[in-house]
């Protein structure tokens, strides 16, 4: 298991294990009558044991998480994912090399209403992943976890790829498994979309990923967080005496930062 977790090759794993056995023999911790050649390890033995451990671990994980009621799905591009790629060297020979590159992970979680637990993930194209293509992966995962008949809801971001009425993920998935599903849209995603539209209406659209062209955006170029705070009168509101730990734990980083700044300037009595 540690060889798998550490992404260690079978050859290196066998070398480390054999070196450990040799040390035990020199320390007198192996019975003298035991021939070291009978327990020596090679790459093939490590490969077979890795395959057995992977199969056993996957079956146990599926058994513990089958018959799902609600599944959460989300896509994320990891920029520094370790990948194995086939290349051709200067002699024209093909070989496998390790590289780090961008990889889009389609992640699945088990949602119970009180906790979110990782299930599995699939690798999908960085660009051009349609709702129909994603629905195929979701259906395969539901089948793997014996949950096609039990699933009732899908938790997704509110994008057209997921929620489109004609070719969206949910629509395609319902056709694929032949049953209706309850769609749970991300509330925080909905919370940020109106603000983005308001900002675009007031300040205009951006011209590049790092700069603003409108009057509000240009004011944000400089770093004002170290400037002294301006004194202003406190305005009492209905949230002054409420503890919102449960709510703030689900906010995005920017929202928590804004809420924390408000709490610093408006201390609760």
For the stretch 131-160, pLDDT in tens is 889 999 999 999 989 999 999 999 998 888
**Domain 65-185: CATH architecture, name and number where available:** 2-Layer Sandwich (3.30)
Per-residue pLDDT tens for 12-46? 777 777 777 777 777 777 766 667 666 777 777 77
The domain locations on the chain are 2-63, 65-185, 228-269
Q: Are 77 and 126 in contact (CB under 8 A)?
A: yes
Average pLDDT over the chain, rounded to an integer:
79
Residue 266 has pLDDT above 60, yes or no: no
Which residues does residue 85 pair with via DSSP β-bridges, in sequence order? 97
Per-residue pLDDT tens for 107-120? 999 998 888 888 88
Torsion angle, alpha carbons of 89, 90, 91, 96, to 10: -10
- Can you give the pLDDT at residue 199? 81
Q: Averaged over 159-186, what is the pLDDT?
A: 88
Of the chain, the percentage scoring pLDDT greater than 70 comes to 86
Pairing of strands 94-111, 116-124: antiparallel
The single-letter DSSP state of residue 30 is S
State the Cα–Cα distance between residues 14 and 45, nearest whole angstrom. 8
Residues 6+ apart with CB under 8 A from 41: 13, 14, 17, 18, 21
Residues 6+ apart with CB under 8 A from 220: 212
Residue 240 has pLDDT above 60, yes or no: no
- pTM for this prediction: 0.58
Q: Which of 20, 21, 15 is nearest to 36 (CA)?
A: 21
Phi, psi of 94 (to 5 degrees): -85, 140
Residue owning tokens 């409420």: 242
- Can you give the pLDDT at residue 81? 77
């Amino acid at each position: 298991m540690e060889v798998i977790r550490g992404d260690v090759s079978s050859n290196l794993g066998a070398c480390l294990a054999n070196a450990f056995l040799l040390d035990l023999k020199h320390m007198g911790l192996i019975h003298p009558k035991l021939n070291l050649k009978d327990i020596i390890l090679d790459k093939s033995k490590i490969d077979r044991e890795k395959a057995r451990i992977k199969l056993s671990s996957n079956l146990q994980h599926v058994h513990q998480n089958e018959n799902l009621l609600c599944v959460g799905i989300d896509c994320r591009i990891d920029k520094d994912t370790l990948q194995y790629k086939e290349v051709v060297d200067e002699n024209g020979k093909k070989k496998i090399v390790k590289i780090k590159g961008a990889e889009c992970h389609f992640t699945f979680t088990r949602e119970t209403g009180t906790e979110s637990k990782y299930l599995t993930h699939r690798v999908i194209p960085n660009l051009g992943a349609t709702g129909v293509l994603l629905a195929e992966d979701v259906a395969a995962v539901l089948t793997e976890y014996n949950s096609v008949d039990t699933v009732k809801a899908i938790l997704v971001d509110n994008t057209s790829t997921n929620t489109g009425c004609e070719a969206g993920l949910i629509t395609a998935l319902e056709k694929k498994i032949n049953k209706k599903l309850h769609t749970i849209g991300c509330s925080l995603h909905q919370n940020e979309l109106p603000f983005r539209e308001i900002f675009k209406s007031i300040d205009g659209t951006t011209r590049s990923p790092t700069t603003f062209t409108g009057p509000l955006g240009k004011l944000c170029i400089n770093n004002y967080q170290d400037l002294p705070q301006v004194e202003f009168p406190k305005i009492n509101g209905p949230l002054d005496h409420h503890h919102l730990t449960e709510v703030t734990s689900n906010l995005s980083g920017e929202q928590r930062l804004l809420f924390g700044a408000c709490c610093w300037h408006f201390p609760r009595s």
